[in-house]
Amino acid sequence: MEIRYKSTRSDVTVTASQAILQGLAEDGGLFVPTALPKLEKDLSELVGLSYQDLAYEIMHSFLTDFTEEELRHCINSAYDSKFDTEAIAPVVVKGGVSYLELFHGATIAFKDMALSILPHLMTTAAKKNGETKKIVILTATSGDTGKAAMAGFADVPGTEIIVFYPKDGVSHIQELQMVTQRGENTHVVAIRGNFDDAQTAVKQMFNDRAFGEELAAKGCRFSSANSINIGRLVPQIVYYVYAYCQMVKNGTVKVGEPINVTVPTGNFGNILAAWYAKQMGLPIAKLICASNVNRVLTDFFETGEYDRKREFILTSSPSMDILISSNLERLVYHICGNDSDRCRSFMEELAKTGSYTITDDMRAGLTDFRAGFASEEENFAGIRDLYESTGYVIDTHTGIANAVYRRYAAESGDQTPAVIASTASPFKFAVSVVGACKPGETEGKSDFALIDLLSEISGVKEPQAVTDIRTAPVRHDTVVDVAGMPDAVRNILL
């Protein structure tokens, strides 16, 4: 069955490769599949597959204009020795809960799972569509996407990548990872603002036709490495199916038995991928959406109102410090009956007033979801409790999911086997993680001294990604106001 892609805001369709190349639809909407495919093989047949073979089984159902040879080349080029384990995304059972470790790639965060393959998908898509312009990857990051995208696209012929990040809105290690990035085609720009400011400005540049024509005249075209790109989202579906298969192999569940999935999320892409996995036939009972105190998603699921008009709070889980959850638009499109006109009206209302409220019939389409948020104190307490009871150390984003899930389980009595998406290595957030596990021991210590202490208390060797930045020179030091972002792009490209 051929799957095409259409905007959440209109009915024009394109192929998968065209959607990946464009990133964002011309009308500002996000590309969604015209149909959601089902798993083609029984789960019992999928259990024994390698990550690479499972990735092909899932992705070829969505990317139907890629040949088997093309898609397998992309998969095998992405999921190779850059990951520090053959399992790629292992499941670890601690404290009666399964943790899906998504941080074994080159930049020690879950973004590697999709951004390792996106450059291969994009360059293949360019060839398929006869694209001769240089592809300019324009990306806003709340901490992890930027580094993972640059690592993937560094020195890839025919591409340039420009990453914007909030100057005071990421951890020191995240910032070092970005500003030391090598590659002649990589560019990093800090902004005086928050992630939402960066993301909004990037979308505006995508939708600025005059700017696009200016770039085209210089032989360039924009595309995106954010999860607004369907080429980011489809690879994320894979690891939920893979997690289920591992839970079957280790005896946590039997084939066909349901699981609950908890995801720490800000931009809503990672948990949307889990929802797509459920639509394909993966036996997921509840999708638990975990937020930090920037609880805009929790409020949406509890009330039906999405309201970004609130204080933006910087937390110890910076990749979730987001008030404009772009991927939620895709879910809104699906629950309003795949009606692009209705979806567009909600997004226009959001842009105009800062909020929108879905209808009761749409809320009925959200019964698969539960949502909650955790405070800084709850997050740290949960990280400490897990460490003290099992010796297992998790990062602050996984900590949010851990706290939200355990409260949900206690309050609901739901004993369905659960997997938590563990989205980053604790070494990325050593200051906060050591502070949680060993209160009082961070005072006066540098980030790298705390990394050494974290390695000692966790029994885990420092990841190579951290070792690499200890002595790496800073290569990117540009800082601009939000209004100066378009000119920063011009200075780089034109």
* Rounded Cα gap, residues 180 and 175, in angstroms: 9
Closest of 421, 375, 144 to residue 275, by C-alpha:
421
Q: CB atoms < 10 A from the CB of 11, how many?
A: 11
Q: Is 364 helix (H, G, I), strand (E, B) or coil?
A: helix
- Which amino acid does the sequence have at 146? G
- Residue 134 belongs to what H/E stretch? strand 134-140
From the list 41, 82, 111, 352, the catalytic residue is: 111
Residue type, 364: A
Instruction: Compute the residue count for the chain.
Output: 494
Q: Any catalytic annotation for residue 82? A: no
Q: How far apart are CA 412 and CA 425, in angstroms?
A: 29
Map residue 437 onto helix, strand or coil. Answer: helix
| Structure tokens, 282 | 């993966």
Question: Which residues lie closer than 8 Å to 77 by C-beta, 6 or more apart?
Answer: 117, 120
CA distance 32 to 101: 27
CA–CA separation, 383 vs 389, rounded Å?
Answer: 10
Residue 391 CA to residue 419 CA, distance in Å, equals: 18
CA distance 235 to 212: 28
Helices (H) and strands (E) in the chain, counts: 22, 16
Catalytically active residues are 111
